[in-house]
Amino acid sequence: MGRTAIVTGASKGIGLSIANSLSLDGKNVIGIARSDPQKNFPGLYYKIDLENDTAAVKALAKIVAEHQVDILVNNAGYSLPASAQDTTLTDFDKQISVNLRGALLCSQAVIPGMRRRKFGRIVHMASRAMMGKEDRTAYGAAKAGLVSFSRGWALELGPAGITVNTVSPGPIQTELFLRNHPPGTRQYQELVESMPVGRLGIPDDIAHAVKFLVADEAGYITGQTIHVCGGMTIGAPGI
């Protein structure tokens, strides 16, 4: 019987790609998202809003009581762009709640079982925004917080056989990205030309990195951040 993996934000885009990839790799996938699943989702699916702490904790407790969860991919998150001056406390709290608090809630649900079994893989999904991007005050802070989670938890959980890492995507052609950067536009083409690898990423690029980090063979990698960004973070492309 294969390992069991929870993937949050699994309804579409990067999360769905991760779920499909892990399923093809023999994992038993449990998807979590606040919206309905796609047809033929490759596993079990729970409609959970991670902003609702009480409901989320209850649902997560049910999941871990019924399933031996070996892998957690904290992918759920969203951004509400605004300048530093215009960022409202309400929007700030929403972004911290989903991107950071949600990851904490999910992790706290699965860590006890991982400790008992002396095995676990936790992967957080960050963003290039954490390195500095205008109009991303709350989002960038939340994603940087996930990197801090990985580094601190790697020290706490390593003795229990649990690794904790972060994947930080560059520009990935999700549905939302393509709506904001339509192919064929000047903005899209300039972004492509600015990338060292000469192309933009696709969700599967992120899924491949996650699949690597959650493998049994990746037990000597922990506390690290892998930038899956086509080389964007090593230069200063005009974006």
> Known catalytic residue: 139?
yes
CA 149 to the chain's CA centroid: 13
Percent of the chain with pLDDT over 70: 95
139 vs 178: CA distance, rounded Å: 20
What pLDDT is recorded for position 189?
94
CA-CA distances (angstroms) from residue 189 to 69, 169, 227?
42, 19, 22
**In which residue ranges of the chain is pLDDT below 50?**
237-239
**184-215: pLDDT as tens digits:** 999 999 999 999 999 999 999 999 999 999 99
Domains of the chain, earliest start first? 4-172+203-231 (3.40.50.720)
Question: Which one of 46, 139, 188, 220 is the catalytic residue?
Answer: 139
